[in-house]
Amino acid sequence: MKRKHILLSFLLMASAGAQADWYLRGTHNNWGATQMNAAGTNTVELTNVMFAAAGSIKFDRYGNWAESYGVGGLNGSNISVGQGTWNIKFFTDTKNWSITSAASVSYHLRGTFNSWAEGTLLARVGTSDVYESCQNFTSGDATGGPRFKVDPNGGWGSDAVPSSDYTVAAGWVKISFNAVTKVITAQQNLAANCSTTSSAISSSSLVSSAISSSSSAISSSVSSTQFHLRGTHNGWAEGDLITTSSGTNQLEICRNFTAGDANGGPRFKVDPNGGWGDAFPTADQAASGWTKIIINTGTRTLVSTTTNLGNNCAVSTSSSAISSAINSSSSQATADDFRARTMYFVFVDRFANGNTANDNGSNPAATSTLKSSGGQSEWKKYWGGDIAGLISRLDYLQSLGVSAIWVTPLVDNINVGNEGGYHGYWARDFYSVDEHLGDWALVDELDAQMEARGMKLVLDIALNHSNQDDQYEFGALYKEGAFLTDFASGKGTWYHANGAISDCGDTNPATTCNAEWDDPWSFRNKSLFNLTDFNHGTSSNSIADQYLIDAALKWMDHGVDAFRIDAIKHIEPSFINRFSAAVRAKKADTYIFGEWYNAGAGDALSMSFLNERRGSELLDFKLRDAIENAIAGNITMVNLSSHIGSRPGAMNNFEDQQAIFLDNHDATRTSVYLQTTGTTNRGAGKGMAKSFADARQNLGMALVMTLPGVPTIYYGTEQNSTWFTANGDGQVGHDPYNREQQPSFSQTTPAYTLIGSLANLRKNSIAIQRGTYAERWATADILVFQRQEGSDCAVVAVNRGAAATITVPNLCLANAAYASVVGTDVVNVTSGSGTFNLSQNEVVVLH
C-alpha cells in the first residue's frame, strides 16, 4: 500500500475547469479560502499544510462556495485529513486529489561532536513539526568551540540553519528544531543522555514556549533507558540516540555507514545507557550504506537491519533486510513483518455485492440469476461480489482482527462463453480491472480505506498462465485493452505449446501419465488443465515475463503491498527470482508467498524449492493436513506435534514465514468434512454433529492463529460456513461448492470472537509472531506448547478429548494467575508449572 500517501480517485461527471483560482478550505484554516498554486498541467497545490489535529478539507473553485469538490465529486462530503503536515494537490481535470506527507525531508545534525558529518538525523516528535536530538559535545575543533548546524537532506545546501554556527557549552545538549519556523532550541549543561539537571538552561525561552504546545516531553521528560547507536559511522562514540518509535516496544534509526575501521567493515552495536555495560547484539552487526535499524526495547534485541537503502533510508533497488533476532531459529525479519498480521482470504465474487450495476459485465451470459439455488453450472458464473462490497465490509474485517486481505485476482478475465472467470484465474488483461469487480478508482479507494485501518492488500496473481488454450478466448492476451497475442500466434514466444500435464504427449484423452505431476520438466513446461502456459525465460526475462512484472508494478502503484502467486509449482523457478527482485526494488518489504499444492515438511520437491530462497514463501498444505487430521481424530496430538517440530529442519528455520491455513478454495471446507458422511476429496466425512464439528474447527483455527507462520483465514471460516452438495466428481463441498456466498457477517459467533482475540494476541506478542515452538505436554487428545521470544512467552493448550486436569511443568511464564486470552479459564503458574482444567474441545491461551 502506498506509504504516507493517500490517493482517492473518483470518476466525476463535472467538467474540467480552468486551472486558476482554486482555493483550499478546511478545519486547519477555519474554512477560510487559501489560494492554491499552479503545479503543472491541470494541477494546483499547497505544500506544508499543517493540521494540529485530524480534520477535513474541500476544494473551492472560485473561493465563494459556488462550486466545491469533496468525496463524491461536485458538492461532495468533506475529505478527511490526519494530524500532521501535508502536501495537498488537486487535479482540475479529473477532480481527483492527493494528500502526501510533507515529512520527506530528513534533518541532519552536523557539528563538532561528529566532525560535521552527515548521518546523525534529528528525530521527529510525534506528528509535530519539531525534531530533536541529544548529543554529547566533548570539545570543539580547530576553528572554534563546540557548535553545530542543521542541514536539511544533507549536502550543505543553502538551506542549512542557522546561517552562523550555533555555539553550545561542552557537555550533553538536547537540540530541538522546528521545521516550519526554522527556530532552534538548545538545552545545555544536561546530565548524561540529556537527563535534566538543576542547572539545565534553555538558550531561547521564546523557542521553548513555542514548542511546548507540540511536545511537552521535549523539555521535561526523558526515557529511563537511552539506547546509543555506536559503530563505525561515529567512531563508536556514545550520544547517537535511537528515539523514533517503530511500534510497540520498538525504536528505529537511520544512519549512513560509509566505511569500516581497522578492525573490520561497517558495523555497529546498540549500547543501553552507554558505558558498554549491556550492549547488544553479542557480535558486531554488519551494516552497509544507508541502513535502517529497528530494535526491541523490551527484549533488547535487534528486530531488523535493512542495508543499502537510498539517501535518508529511502528504499533502493539493492536494499536487503538482514535478521538480527537474538534467537537463531527466528527467520528473516522485514520492516513490514507479516508474521505480526492476520490475513483474510476473500473470494471477491462471493463475499459482498456493493454495486449491482456491474453484475453482468460485458457478457451477461456468464452471470447467474439463480446463484446458489441453481445447478453446478450456475456456481461457475459471476454472482455479483465486487470491490465496492469488500470496502463496505472492511469494518467487519477490522473487528475480526484482520490486518492483511488477500483477494482473488482482480485482473480482467475472459468475456466469452456461458462460464465466467468469477474466480479470477482466467486472465485476458493483467493491466485492467475486471468490469464485474470495479475499476481503478475503486482499487484506489480500497487502498485508501485499508491504509486508514492499518491493513495491507495482497493480490493473487497467476503468473503461470492466462486463459484456456482450447476454448472461449484461446489464450488471448491484452495490455490495457490492446490485443497482444493468443495461443495460436504466441506459440514459442509468449506461450509454451507442449501439451497438458499428464497427457502422455499424445492426443488420446483416454491415456494419462500421472507421473508427469512429479516431473519438473513436465509440470513447468506443459499446461495446467489446458490453461495457456506462459513461456518463462530461464536466464533472463522473456517477453511474457516482462509483461507480467510490469503488470505487477502497476498494481503496486495502486496500493498492492504483497502477492500470492498462483500455481508456483508450475513456473520456471528463475523467473520467481526475477519477479520477486523486481517488486522488492519498488517496495523492499513486499511479502510474497505461493501455492504449491501439497507443499510442506515431508514433500521433497516443494522443500527443495523453498530452501533455494528464490524470493517466495509457500502455503503450508502439509501443516493444514496435519491440523485437520488431528481435530478429525485421524491422528493423535502427539503426531501433530511431531509434524510441527519437523518444520524448522525441513524449512531451514523459515517455518514462521510460511502462510498457514485450514480452509481454502481448492478443497472441501473442514467444517463440511467434519459434518458430512459423504465422500470428500479427503475420503469419507466424519459425520459429527454441527455444534461438535464447529468446536473442533475452532480448535483447529486456534492452532492456525498461534503456531509459527502467517495465519490465513478463508472467508466464511469465522462463520463455520458449510455447503453439502456433491460436485460432478461426487465430492461433497468441493469445487465449486466450497465457494459459496458469505453466509453471515455476524460478529458474535464463537469462531469470530476466538479469531479476533488471537489476532490481537499475535499483533502484540513477538513470541507468537516469531518465537520458538516447544512441546510441553502431548497425549493422544491433548497438546500443550509454548512460544517464546526473549522474555515474551505464550502457552497454548488444546484438548479434543474428554475433560481432564493436567499439571504442566517447565513453562516460560512467571509466577502469576493468568486469565486465558480465549474463554474464561484462569491458570495459576508457580515455579514454572501450571494446572489446566480442560473441557472437551477447549482451548486455553496464556500470555
Residues carrying an active site annotation:
566, 595
Chain-centre distance for alpha carbon 518 = 33
Do residues 344 and 751 touch, judged by C-beta distance below 8 A?
no
Neighbours of 289 (CB within 10 A): 18
Q: Which three cell numbers stand for residue 109?
A: 545534525
As beta bridge partners, residue 145 has: none
CA atoms within 13 A of residue 377's CA, in its CB half-sphere: 6
Grouping H, G, I as helix, E, B as strand and the rest as coil, residue 124 is: strand
What is the C-alpha separation between 667 and 232, in angstroms, rounded? 54
> Omega before 281 cis (within 30°)?
yes
What is the C-alpha separation between 582 and 590, in angstroms, rounded? 10
Eight-class DSSP state of 8: E
Q: Which three cell numbers stand for residue 398?
A: 477490522
* Host H or E run for residue 487: helix 487-490
* Host H or E run for residue 703: helix 690-706
The phi, psi pair for 660, rounded to 5°, reads -120, 145
Eight-class DSSP state of 271: E
What is the C-alpha separation between 710 and 18, in angstroms, rounded? 50
The residue with cell 480448535 is 699
> Omega before 266 cis (within 30°)?
no
CA nearest to 438, candidates 356, 371, 381: 356
Grouping H, G, I as helix, E, B as strand and the rest as coil, residue 802 is: coil
CA atoms within 13 A of residue 584's CA, in its CB half-sphere: 23
624-630: long-range pairs with CB below 8 Å, 24+: 624/600, 624/660, 624/661, 624/662, 625/600, 627/662, 627/700, 627/703, 627/704, 628/662, 628/670, 628/673, 628/682, 628/700, 630/700, 630/783, 630/800
What is the C-alpha separation between 576 and 610, in angstroms, rounded? 11
Q: Which three cell numbers stand for residue 697?
A: 474447527
> Omega before 809 cis (within 30°)?
no
Do residues 667 and 734 touch, judged by C-beta distance below 8 A?
yes
What is the C-alpha separation between 598 and 130, in angstroms, rounded? 53
Helix 573-586 to helix 543-557 angle, to the nearest 10 degrees?
Answer: 30
Eight-class DSSP state of 724: -
